[in-house]
Amino acid sequence: MNNLLQINSTDVTVFVFAGIIVLALLFGFIMYFLFSYRHKQKDFQLLHDQKQQIDVQKIELEKTLRELKSTQAQLIQQEKMANLGELTAGVAHEIQNPLNFVNNFSEVSNELIEELKTERQKTESERSAGTENDIINDIEQNLQKINYHGKRAESIVKGMLQHSRANAGVKEPTDINKLADEYLRLSFHGLRAKDKSFNADFKTDFDESIGKINVIPQDIGRVLLNLFNNAFYTVNEKRKSASDSYLPTVLVQTKKLNSAIEIIVRDNGDGIPKKIIEKIFQPFFTTKPTGQGTGLGLSLSYDIIKAHSGEIKVESKEGEGTTFIIQLPIL
């Protein structure tokens, strides 16, 4: 080192100058980095805040959705119970018939047993084996009828219980004609029992070839009941204002198509105005006076038919009537 030459001032100047440039560059870099980072940090913060807001909104929406689902389930159950209320009179009427039979046949059977006892108290010469056998046969027939009508009442009660059940039913082969007929009668008698002035005619035209199809009977029953109730309601309303020549009529028809069956419910009521026909399947839409309809009947019917992969359509002419057509696939 001692042999080395002394450094000149130009070299030092160059070194200092280079040092200043490096220092300036590094400071510039750090300042730029800090500035751009701060800018990014603000963007990140904004994004972070927005994400947090979205998360909060998401939680609130999920909560609302849960509440909505719960409310929807409650409303569906309420609608079922309302239907059940409407059914009660019809059910009472339907049960009354078999009960009358049960009562009558059991009374007759009691009388026949008394007759049999009297016959058996007679002397051997007065007794007639033929008469005794006839009485026994009559009692046997009566008991069969009592049993038959008892089972009919039981099936009506079972149907009612199925209708009110909250949980989803299972699909089973169902005789649609029988189901439609049952619910048509229940609807008719129910309305009649509620309103003594109610008067309407109903006709059925069932296609016997449709056989049994796989549906949830209580759900399809609920749909049919809704349509029947609406049809009877509208014809009855029209009757109140129409001339005497007007015959309120509800027609229920079934048809077999290629891969589906069709249930047609036609009434000759006032029809549905064009401006509201698009809304009738919307939840809570009703034309009935406050307190008479929940506005969920057709909406639920629509959902039920869709859940069966079917279709429900409506055709209506103002002043002439309405036709609801349900198509259910044969699976």
Binding interface with other proteins (CB under 8 A): 1, 3-8, 11-12, 15, 18-19, 22-23, 26, 29-30, 33-34, 36-38, 40-41, 44-45, 48
Looking at the Cβ atoms of 1 and 170, the one nearer to other proteins is 1
d(CA 216, CA 168): 9
Looking at the Cβ atoms of 12 and 247, the one nearer to other proteins is 12
**Residue 72 Cβ vs other proteins, minimum distance, rounded to whole Å:** 40
- Helix (H) or strand (E) holding 262, with range, is strand 260-267
**Residue 56 Cβ vs other proteins, minimum distance, rounded to whole Å:** 18
Looking at the Cβ atoms of 55 and 62, the one nearer to other proteins is 55
Contact indicator for 229, 191 with CB cutoff of 8 Å: yes
Looking at the Cβ atoms of 18 and 59, the one nearer to other proteins is 18
d(CA 302, CA 283): 10
Contact indicator for 173, 213 with CB cutoff of 8 Å: yes
- At which residue do the structure tokens 């007794």 appear? 127
**Residue 54 Cβ vs other proteins, minimum distance, rounded to whole Å:** 16
**Residue 20 Cβ vs other proteins, minimum distance, rounded to whole Å:** 11
**Residue 50 Cβ vs other proteins, minimum distance, rounded to whole Å:** 14
d(CA 56, CA 64): 12
d(CA 250, CA 248): 7
d(CA 80, CA 304): 13
The residues, any chain, with a CB within 8 Å of residue 214's CB and separated by 6 or more, are 171, 172, 173, 174, 331
Looking at the Cβ atoms of 2 and 258, the one nearer to other proteins is 2
Looking at the Cβ atoms of 6 and 209, the one nearer to other proteins is 6
Contact indicator for 139, 113 with CB cutoff of 8 Å: yes
d(CA 261, CA 263): 7
**Residue 44 Cβ vs other proteins, minimum distance, rounded to whole Å:** 5
**Which 3 state secondary structure label does DSSP give 311?**
strand
Looking at the Cβ atoms of 4 and 129, the one nearer to other proteins is 4
Angstrom CA distances, 218 to 66, 166, 264, stand at 26, 11, 18
* CA angle centred on 108, ends 103 and 110, rounded to 5°: 95
**Residue 220 Cβ vs other proteins, minimum distance, rounded to whole Å:** 56
